A and B are shown apart, each in its own frame.
Chain A
Amino acid sequence: MPAPVAPAESPGRTTDGQPQSAIVLEDVSISFEGNTVLDGISFSLERGETKALLGVAGAGKSTILKLTMGLVKPDHGNIWVLGQEVSAMKEEDLFELRRKLGMVFQESALFDSLTVRDNVAYRLIEEGVPEDKIQKRVEEALRFVELEHTLNMFPGELSGGMRRRVAIARAIVDQPEILLYDSPTGGLDPVTSTTIIELIVKQRDVYHTSSLLVSHRLQDAFTMATHYFDRSKNRMVPVNGAPIDTRTSFLVLRDGKVIFDGSAHELATSRDEYIREYIS
């Protein structure tokens, strides 16, 4: 009998088979109808880390999240999520992995014919969790986003900001290992935006979930990098020199390429003209 072949070393997996990074993209390209949207993108997201994806509208930020979820396939390149190569998996085999991930869509994408309760409970119902447990977990998730009172309402009856918060509740109800937020503050007023950013920071600092966050408002991403969630005060407070690592980094896309990948400080002091203009 031939000796078992050791698994080839891959960027998503160490030699002992343990997933190393939460997400790894390696030389990923994709085009839609002849337009190259992403052109050789590589980056990785470590466990417990949060990365903000920045770039103008149409830069391909949402596409990166969809590629990570395996909702679309790259034309070229490899994508590893929790050590599994998403880009090489069949749709049928992806459902299992997707249950470990949570995604908040740009337009929330709530099931409009289900109540808020059934939306949030969706994953638990699918997994056959007992009814009393579902009720408890749904209430917990809705309390997290401060929307306990909307349990029996339909998504159409909620405001845009409330829908976004329900979408967050739906994504976190099962405490996924990775969260993907697509423009969670897009189109919202500053007050509601801050509420949502605070929720994301809370999720980051309380549960240490790895996450990718698309944002077209740089300010939101900076707020996340410079604040942490104080559990005793139950709100978000500035780091202000305290020895706290928010583990939040930035990635800037331009013309299908990564032009920046680094910390908030590095971004603020970048010499690149485009970036200077972008952040000013």
Chain B
Amino acid sequence: MTAPQVLAGRGLTFQYQGAQSPLFSDLDIHVQRGEIIAVLGPSGVGKSSLLRVLGGLQAPARGEVTLDGEPLLAPHPRVAIAFQDPSLLPWLTLEKNVAFGLDFKRQPRRDKAERAALVDEALREVGLSDFRRAYPSELSGGMSQRAALARCLARRPEVLLLDEPFGALDEVTRREMQALLLQIVADYDTAALLITHDIDEALAVADRIVLLGGAPASAIGQWDVRVAQPRADAIEELGQMRIEILQALRGAVRRPRKDIQTCALTASLAVAC
């Protein structure tokens, strides 16, 4: 049996209400168990929107998202999403924030002791055990991001959807968190989709890199990173790929600029008429 596609989006087209054109169209993306997919793309291309569609928070105009082959029409308890913004609830302590949702009706049944153990472990994994009674307003940006990650991890999800989760972290902590992500994916056979704007982060953790670009956006490039972890010594092998991705990314960023030029041209013609 080939590795099952845990979460897959096929022919996804998505458009915001009131928008002129689709944000992305005919996009195919999938992630398998034990695999990390990095989604790269210029800012504003629709990465966060794609994540929400894959998580069942927003419905695509066309195409479908499936979880283990079953259509996914609403957020699923087996899928955890870490948003670009930590979204911690200000009236709960860190501990209660991490536990938030564990006792929801649609989540797997767990008794109080089990929930406490999961929260403890998640806090330990992100290194925030000492801050369990702190309120979100007392945490730094990086700590908040780690807390949001802990809230996802506590649920032991089969699919992790992460929207630039390490963006606000310093270099050292970022490396630690990347290592933690690799550890979790390996330990629990999780499928992880990581949105990032950092090529080096993608090269450091991903098994596959998907580059989004164009308007409407689609996957304009895909790279399999067949380099074993840890990758610290594989700089040379990764260097070539890095250049390729950078070139493709530059092309992707340049494209909208052309659009703007055409717009300006049409506008001046309209005035001339």
Query: Do A and B come together as binding partners?
Result: no
The chain A residues found within 8 Å of chain B, CB to CB, are: none
The chain B residues found within 8 Å of chain A, CB to CB, are: none
